Structure formats: structure tokens, C-alpha cells
């Protein structure tokens, strides 16, 4: 039945900050969106809308869902770390165990949603990768 993941949706009362995080920081591009009667936008990775963002004046209570995190395949591991550092975004790096050994970078968006960027195992890491980022599971800076 299921062929692939289509998109994630974020509901936010921080529409502008969320837009900046995903476009300016992570490189998604805003693209076509149906004329829904609520504010928001669709963000694309290439031709695929991977993130739908819906703007609200006040976050719904109770919050919906139990999404743990969203992950994107990415390129340019060292350059991405430099970009995150320059923007002051805390993150943590994991080198996946086992044979595949991909690089994983975790951070939180302005809404508290955890975002994972996955990089190929063959990408070169900076020599100081074990001490970079310093974000905990709660999003707190540990440096």
C-alpha cells in the first residue's frame, strides 16, 4: 500500500521563525500550495513538498500527535555544521553504529520539533565533530 513518505505538517504560532528555520537555515524552498483558508506554506526538497506549515494565532490544547522527530537526507556535512554554528543553532551529532555508519545531526526547530539531517557515511567530518553542537534531548545547550 504505502509507497513513500509524502510530507510532515507543523502547526505553529511562529510562522515567520519557522519559515526562516527551514528555508534560510536548512535550504527547503517554498513552492505551490492550494488556496487553503488558513495561513501557511508548503516547503519543497526538489519537486517534492516535504513539509506543510500551518499558521495559527494560538497553539491548540491539547497538542495533537506523538511525532518523535522528522528526518531529511542531506549533503554537505561539514558545511552544514558550519552553517548551524554561524546561526547559533545547538545540535548533536551521532555516528550511526554498525556497517553503514551514516552521520546524523539532530536539532530543534522554533516549535520544539526535533529535526534530523542524515548524511552519507563517506562524507568527511571535521576533526572536532565529537565536541560540536552540544544540544541535549531536551534542546538545552550543554557547552
- Cell numbers found for residue 77: 556535512
Residue 96, pLDDT score: 87
Contact (CB, 8 A) for 134 and 142: yes
List, by residue range, all CATH 3.10.180.10 domains of the chain.
Answer: 1-58, 69-137
Task: Find cell 495533537 and name the residue.
Answer: 64
- Cell numbers found for residue 90: 545547538
- At the top level of CATH, the class of 1-58 is alpha beta
Residue 38, pLDDT score: 92
Residue 135, pLDDT score: 60
Mean pLDDT of 87-100: 90
The residues, any chain, with a CB within 8 Å of residue 112's CB and separated by 6 or more, are: 139
Euclidean distance between CA atoms 112 and 25, whole angstroms: 16
123 or 140, greater pLDDT: 123
> Dihedral, CA atoms, 32, 35, 41, 43, nearest 10 degrees?
-30
Residue 63, pLDDT score: 77
Residue 90, pLDDT score: 94
Strand partners, 33: none
- pLDDT, tens only, 5-32: 889 999 999 999 999 999 999 999 999 9
Contact (CB, 8 A) for 46 and 91: no
Q: What is the band of 143 on the pLDDT scale with cuts at 50, 70, 90?
A: very low
- pLDDT, tens only, 50-77: 999 999 998 888 877 767 789 999 999 9
- pLDDT, tens only, 104-126: 999 999 999 999 999 999 999 99
pLDDT above 70 for 139: no
- Work out whether strand 29-31 and strand 40-45 pair parallel, antiparallel, or are unpaired: antiparallel
Residue 137, pLDDT score: 52
Q: Which CATH architecture has domain 69-137?
A: Roll (3.10)
Residue 66, pLDDT score: 65
Amino acid at each position: 500500500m504505502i509507497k513513500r513518505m509524502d510530507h510532515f505538517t507543523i502547526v505553529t504560532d511562529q510562522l515567520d521563525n519557522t519559515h526562516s528555520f527551514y528555508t534560510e537555515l536548512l535550504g527547503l524552498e517554498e513552492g505551490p500550495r492550494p488556496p487553503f483558508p488558513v495561513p501557511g506554506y508548503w516547503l519543497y526538497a526538489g519537486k517534492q513538498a516535504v513539509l506543510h506549515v500551518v499558521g495559527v494565532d494560538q497553539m491548540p490544547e491539547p497538542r495533537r500527535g506523538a511525532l518523535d522527530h522528522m528526518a531529511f537526507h542531506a549533503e554537505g556535512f561539514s558545511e552544514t555544521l558550519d552553517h548551524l554554528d554561524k546561526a547559533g543553532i545547538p545540535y548533536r551529532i551521532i555516528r550511526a553504529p554498525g556497517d553503514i555508519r551514516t552521520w546524523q545531526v539532530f536539532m530543534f526547530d522554533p516549535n520544539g520539533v526535533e529535526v534530523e539531517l542524515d548524511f552519507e557515511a563517506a562524507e568527511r567530518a571535521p576533526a572536532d565533530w565529537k565536541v560540536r553542537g552540544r544540544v541535549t534531548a531536551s534542546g538545552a545547550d550543554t557547552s
